[in-house]
């Protein structure tokens, strides 16, 4: 069902959205429901998913209440059979599904890595009983279901990583730090723990002064309780069991301050967790695979890190 607000935009807006989604989906593998049955913690509500602006070059999906997962299989698989779960960013208001999802999946396929793009639920009191944990439920479900079906995908269940961008980076970081007590009762800690993390200009902390306020407000509500701020500040949840991590950020990021990545890196260092942090002088925020201010491609540095850590050959 299309929301009333979208209908008010007129037929051209509606048709533009439908045409855009049809063209995007036609070029990608078919998306599948993330859950085989009922969505945990869901409240019955109309499906109001939409594209923010059909004229934008990069589709930005809003108001997702039916999460999906899309599998991308490489033409030639790396012998170590690694896989990655991809969490696009969007300030917890939506997902940049192409720039930080499908395009990234194809880049990992070029490495011989199987990739899974997750369109996770947008935190909302309209369709979630507890919007604070809804996205984390989806991320844990993705990791656990990929691991459960490792034989089907011909992947190594001990080589499953998570990559996240911006607010998706916060979701990836919490997936890598809050696995001790899964938020889905059907899974155990070993099912939902990623083996490695890749955080790209991530939101990490929800504490002043370096937080991304929009992400915190969307996930925790206004005002956020001090306990929730502490619970969902990922740098405070790092332990010796946190997975090895690769981080990328730009020093001039005015949306999510670079201090977010530095805080997480320092927390990893304190626990002696293998980590690599790369900081570009410029690039801003939300550049996906291509930081236009440099000829360097961070995805190549990521590939080299994966090789150095033994995750791919």
pLDDT at 26: 56
pLDDT at 215: 97
pLDDT at 22: 52
CB 261 within 8 A of CB 199: yes
265-285 pLDDT, tens digit per residue, is: 999 999 999 999 999 999 999
pLDDT at 8: 34
Residues of the chain predicted below pLDDT 70: 1-26
pLDDT at 28: 86
pLDDT at 24: 55
pLDDT at 20: 53
Question: Domains in the chain, ordered, with CATH?
Answer: 4-308 (3.40.50.1820)
**How many other CB atoms sit within 10 Å of the CB of residue 258?**
18
CB neighbour burial string for 137-164, b if at least 16 within 10 angstroms, e if fewer = bbbbbbbbbbbeebeebebbbebbbbbb
Which strand (E) or helix (H) includes residue 70? Answer: strand 68-72
């Amino acid at each position: 069902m299309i929301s009333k607000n979208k209908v008010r935009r007129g037929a051209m807006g509606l048709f533009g959205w439908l045409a855009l989604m049809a063209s995007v989906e036609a070029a990608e593998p078919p998306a599948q429901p993330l859950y085989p049955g009922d969505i945990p913690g869901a409240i019955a509500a109309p499906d109001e998913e939409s594209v923010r602006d059909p004229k934008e070059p990069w589709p930005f999906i809003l108001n997702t209440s039916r999460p999906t997962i899309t599998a991308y299989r490489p033409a030639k698989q790396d012998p170590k059979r690694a896989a990655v779960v991809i969490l696009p960013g969007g300030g917890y208001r939506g997902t940049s599904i192409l720039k930080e999802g499908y395009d990234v999946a194809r880049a990992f396929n070029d490495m011989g890595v199987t990739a899974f793009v997750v369109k996770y639920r947008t935190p909302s009191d309209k369709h979630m009983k507890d919007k604070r944990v809804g996205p984390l439920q989806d991320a844990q479900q993705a990791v656990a279901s990929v691991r459960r079906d490792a034989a089907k995908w011909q992947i190594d269940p001990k080589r499953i990583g998570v990559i996240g961008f911006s607010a998706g980076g916060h979701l990836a970081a919490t997936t890598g730090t809050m696995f001790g007590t899964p938020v889905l009762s059907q899974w155990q800690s070993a099912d939902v723990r990623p083996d490695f993390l890749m955080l790209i200009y991530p939101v990490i902390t929800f504490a002043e002064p370096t937080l991304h306020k929009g992400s915190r407000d969307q996930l925790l509500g206004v005002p956020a309780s001090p306990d929730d701020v502490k619970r969902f500040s990922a740098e405070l949840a790092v332990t010796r069991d946190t997975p090895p991590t690769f981080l990328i950020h730009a020093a001039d990021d005015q949306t999510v301050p670079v201090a977010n990545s530095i805080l997480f890196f320092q927390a990893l260092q304190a626990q002696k967790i293998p980590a690599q942090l790369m900081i570009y002088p410029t690039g801003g925020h939300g550049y996906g695979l291509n930081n236009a201010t440099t000829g360097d491609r961070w995805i190549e540095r990521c590939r080299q890190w994966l090789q150095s850590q033994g995750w791919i050959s």
